Amino acid sequence: MNRYDLNNNQAIDWLYSLSFASLITFGLLLFSIGLQYFINISVIVPSWPLNGLVIVLITGVAAALAFYRQRFSFIAWLCNGTTLLPAIVLFIAILIITVFFSGHDVSGNNIVFPDQCQLPFVVSVLWLLLVLSLSVIRMLFEFNTNNIAILFIFFGLWIVLSAAILNTGDYQRLTVNVYEDEMAETAMDKYNNVIQVPFRMRLNRFYLSEYNPELAIVDESQGKIYRREDFRADSGSTGYILDWEIQVVRYISGAWKLGSIFYPLNESGSAPAAELIVRNTSTQLTTDGWVSCGSNVLPQLRMQLDNSHQVAMAVPDPREVKSYLTILDAVKPLNIITSVNKPVAFDGWKIYQVGYDIRKRRWSDLSIIALVKAPWMPLIYAGLIFILAGLLFFLVNIFLVFRKYDVE
């Protein structure tokens, strides 16, 4: 038998093995779907120490199976890594479906699974964890420096998956409404239960800066709004929308209306306003006046152009949102500044700026804060480091092999 026939037979054996592994994985999927159909339950991921106990039990079972791999051919087959590919494909597919249909939020820097899972997802996670454990333990029992790259990748995947399970059970997200000069002592959890905050907070000052608002033409007859994203209310600017030339004579970010004119007054309840001169490029008719998006005190004001068209000012988009907070449960009062996408870490929690009173906007006396604790994220990062190290070893080995052939 020549080398070609040997390699060909090995490829055929591997395909048969992969097909059998896929059949077993598909069987587990059908079993879990059938069980879910008849029982119809959601599995809540337990917190520590139960989630850790699940991982220890699965790893222990894998170690026991790997110990007897030389006595039973089926166990040896389970440990050879062939089952890993179908298990990963099943896990990724069900994860995508679960996240899509459950609306689970995957944003942010915290890797967690949905905390309430149906049986197919649970089975896919546990099956992948078992297969990964078998592969890693078998490679440790049969340690070979030539396989160190694959070992690092598999071990990193095992760490990431285990840490994600732990993180899901122990992940906490609380929402706190902090009012200016008031002590916040309660929070809402993800089930809208009112609980005690882990530390007290006080809002000293809320800061919101805004972009200049956009100007738009409203067609009341058709119920349409026409705007240009590059045209905002700015003193001296000119823009064209449909058949109108809009010239901004003056823009005031904080104004109060007295009579028919807006005057600068940067106090609570004031609103952005702009004085406009609008010319119809077809009829040459000119209209002037004021527009304002309004506030929680002042109503919105539009400029009438004809029987069906008006100029309107959109609510300005936030540019920067900050909360100046004092944490009072520290050894001494701790002053912090939170802003969007720039959390502050304190006592194992991350403090996020997530909202404010949108009616009052700049004058909001409410800051909505999210407290997030994901204690197992460092372990996930460690797993990712192992995966990257394994990939690096793999690339180095490929480079050395090609270099050896070049020398020969």
Residues 234 and 328 in one domain: no
CA 388/CA 177 separation, integer angstroms: 41
The pLDDT score that the predictor gives to residue 9 is: 57
* 134, 275: one domain: no
Q: For residue 211, what pLDDT band results from cuts at 50, 70 and 90?
A: very high
Q: Any idea how long the chain is?
A: 408
Residue pLDDT, tens place only, 276-333: 999 999 888 999 999 999 999 999 999 999 889 999 999 999 999 999 999 987 678 8
What are the contacts of 288-293 at 24+ separation with CB within 8 A? 288/249, 290/257, 290/260, 290/261, 290/262, 291/215, 292/255, 292/257, 292/262, 293/213
User: In the 3-class helix/strand/coil scheme, how is the chain assigned residue by residue?
Assistant: CCHHHHHHHHHHHHHHHHHHHHHHHHHHHHHHHHHHHHHCCEEECCCCCHHHHHHHHHHHHHHHHHHCCCCCHHHHHHHCCCCHHHHHHHHHHHHHHHHHHHCCCCCCCCCCCCCEEEHHHHHHHHHHHHHHHHHHHHHHHCCCHHHHHHHHHHHHHHHHHHHHHHHHHHCEEEEEEEEECCEEEEEECCCCCEEEEEEEEEEEEEEEEECCCEEEEEECCCCEEEEEEEEECCCCCEEEECCEEEEEEEEEEEEEEECCEEEECCCCCCEEEEEEEEEECCCCCEEEEEEECCCCCCCCECEECCCCEEEEECCCCEEEEEEEEEECCCCCCEEEEEECCECEEECCEEEEEEEECCCCHHHCCEEEEEEEECCCHHHHHHHHHHHHHHHHHHHHHHHHHHHHHHHC
Structure tokens at 367: 């800051």
Q: What is the amino acid identity at position 76?
A: A
List the structure tokens of 80: 């050879």
pLDDT digits (tens, 9 = 90+) for 26-47: 888 888 788 777 877 777 778 8
| Residue 132 sits in the same domain as residue 226 | no
Tokens 């077809």 sit on residue: 282
Query: What would the mean pLDDT of 135-158 be, rounded to a whole number?
Result: 89
Q: Are residues 151 and 184 in the same domain?
A: no
What does the mean pLDDT of the chain come to? 85
Higher pLDDT, 256 or 16: 256
Residue 263 CB-half CA count within 13 A: 4
pLDDT at residue 381 in the model: 94
Quote the CA–CA distance of 14 and 35 in Å, as a whole number.
31
Together in a domain, 148 and 112: yes
Structure tokens at 48: 């520590």
Provide the whole-model pTM.
0.75
Q: Are residues 18 and 164 in the same domain?
A: yes
Q: Tokens 């999927």 map to which residue?
A: 29
Residue found by looking up tokens 């104004």 in the block:
255
**CB neighbours of 355 closer than 8 A, spacing ≥ 6?**
367, 368
Return all residues near 1 (Cβ < 8 A) that are at least 6 apart: none
Q: Which amino acid is at 391?
A: L
Cα–Cα distance between 48 and 344 in angstroms, integer? 25
pLDDT of residue 320: 93
- The residue range of the domain holding 164 is 3-171+377-407
7-16, 102-111, 115-124, 245-254, range with greatest mean pLDDT = 245-254
Residues 349 and 275 occupy one common structural domain: no
HSE, CB side, 13 Å, CA atoms: give it for residue 362.
20
Grade residue 153 by pLDDT with cuts at 50, 70 and 90. Answer: very high
| End position of a domain, from candidates 285, 300, 316 | 316
Question: Given the structure tokens 């993180």, which residue do they identify?
Answer: 167
Whether residue 146 sits in one domain with residue 124:
yes
How many domains is the chain built from? 3
- Both 251 and 288 in one domain: the answer is yes
| Span 253-270, average pLDDT | 90
**Cα separation, 306 vs 294, whole angstroms:** 22
If asked whether residues 186 and 105 sit together in one domain, one would say: no
Q: Are residues 389 and 247 in the same domain?
A: no
Predicted local distance difference test score (pLDDT) of residue 401: 72
Are 129 and 253 within one domain? Answer: no
- 41, 119 Cβ separation under 8 angstroms: yes
* CA gap 313, 291 in Å, rounded: 6
Residue 82, Cβ neighbours under 10 Å: how many? 22
